[in-house]
Amino acid sequence: MMERDPCDRCEELMQDFLDRTLTDPEWKEAEVHLSTCEYCRRRYRFEETLRRYVKTSAVERMPPGLMAKLEELRGLDATA
């Protein structure tokens, strides 16, 4: 049986690795590979940086005045 390229396998596990949703054996497998493969470490850092960047870029504060409008909705009747 032909061995799979460990970098392909690492690529396959990458998103779940970042989401912390891998099973323990998969986690171990990814960690072992990342500890020896500079290329995949860079890939990992890239994906992680991108996610963080997307998150900070996408966050927009609530406009002023919206909270007051929401406060006014308190006590709304179920039939209203």
Partner 1 sequence: MQARVTHGYGSPVSEPEPSTEAVRIARQARDRVRFEEEALALADQVYRVARRLVGSREEAEDLVQETYARAFRSWQSFTPGTNLRAWLFRILTNLNVDRARRSQRAPDMHPLEESDYYLANKLASAGGEEVLEQEQVVERLSQDSVVRALSDIPPQFRDVVVLVDIGDFTYADAAQILDIPIGTVMSRLHRGRRALKSHLAEETMA
Kindly list the residues in this chain that would bind partner 1 in the complex (CB under 8 A).
11, 14-15, 19, 21, 39, 42-43, 45-47, 49-51, 53-55, 57-63, 66-67, 69-71, 73-78, 80
CA contacts within 13 A on the Cβ side of 71: 5
Smallest distance from the beta carbon of 43 to partner 1, in angstroms? Answer: 7
Would you say the C-alpha torsion 60, 64, 69, 72 has a positive or negative sign?
positive
Length of the chain (residues)? 80
| Cα 49 to Cα 54: distance, rounded to the nearest angstrom | 9
Smallest distance from the beta carbon of 35 to partner 1, in angstroms? Answer: 18
Smallest distance from the beta carbon of 51 to partner 1, in angstroms? Answer: 6
